[in-house]
Amino acid sequence: MTKLSDRLMEIYRLINQAARVADIGTDHAAIPIALLETNKSSFLVATDVGLGPLEKAKEQIELADLDQAKQIILRLGDGLFVIKASDKIDTVVIAGMGGELIAKIISKIPDYLKNAKFILQPNNEEIDVRKTIEKNGQYIETEKIIYENRHFYEIIVAKRSQQGIVKMTNRELRFGPCLLKHRTSTFKNKWQERLDHSKQIEKILEKSLQTSTKRYDSLQAEIKTIEEVLK
């Protein structure tokens, strides 16, 4: 099987056997190729908004020399509407983008994808993604956190809720409802790093006598919240 990074391997593991997968913003098509090599997916669509990344994906698929390579359908386009209803996609992967962009993409889900499983891996601004999941009437089924190349990555799996909007607390939106339940060492390391950074800024503000500012008050509140989560 094509070698996947820890981040991509975790995404691969979250995809069900025989899933019909759309990889949005596929770049090098690493996940579709791995799925095809292991016969894990029965149908694959790989999309990108840029022609360059799509050409790279095509090259990687050809280099993989797969008998079933034609099963990976490449499409140029923006967002989820490049996926057709006739594709009968049941799993959507959106990985390696900013959280704000992922939130924008999933804010417009076509009716024929409403019941799909969404595997989302934002590089930042995870709170934006969770807020949009909530607005969509989806719920978070599971979350993972990975440390790779000196960066913490959160992976969020969302599905349509049968009970309508599932409200999350501010803390759940920030830290992740599932990650809060299972506070792994990687989760703790991420927030300890954030806490240390916040305390450094706190000292700088105190030295410059900026303790009566909104920024300082906000920082104090953040430090308190992270400390409570890490208890």
Q: What is the pLDDT of residue 71?
A: 80
**Does residue 74 belong to any structural domain of this protein?**
yes
Measured from the Cβ of residue 181, the count of other Cβ atoms closer than 10 Å reads 9
**Does residue 161 belong to any structural domain of this protein?**
yes
**Does residue 99 belong to any structural domain of this protein?**
yes
Q: Scanning the structure block, which residue is given the tokens 């996926």? A: 83
**Does residue 179 belong to any structural domain of this protein?**
no
Q: pLDDT by residue for the chain (231 residues), tens digit each?
A: 888 999 999 999 999 999 999 999 997 899 999 999 999 998 999 999 999 999 999 999 888 877 665 689 999 999 999 999 999 999 999 999 999 999 999 999 999 999 999 999 999 999 999 999 999 999 999 999 999 999 999 999 999 998 888 899 999 999 999 999 999 999 999 999 999 999 999 999 998 888 888 999 999 999 999 999 999
Paired tokens of 121: 């891996």
Amino acid (one-letter) located at 113? L
Whether residue 225 is found in the same domain as residue 136: no
Distance CA 84, CA 46 (A): 12
Whether residue 199 is found in the same domain as residue 99: no
Number of domains in the chain: 2
Task: Go through 145-169 and write b for each residue having 16 or more CB atoms within 10 A of its CB, e for each that does not.
Answer: bbbeeeebbbbbbbeeeeeeeeebe
Q: What is the pLDDT of residue 9?
A: 98
Size of the chain in residues? 231
The burial of 86, by beta-carbon neighbours within 10 Å (0-12 exposed, 13-18 middle, 19 or more buried), is given as exposed
CA dihedral sign of residues 33, 21, 6, 150: positive
**Does residue 92 belong to any structural domain of this protein?**
yes
Q: What is the pLDDT of residue 69?
A: 54
CA dihedral sign of residues 171, 177, 179, 181: positive
Whether residue 93 is found in the same domain as residue 207: no
**Does residue 58 belong to any structural domain of this protein?**
yes
Q: Scanning the structure block, which residue is given the tokens 């909007």? A: 165
For position 28, which CATH number holds?
Answer: 3.40.50.150
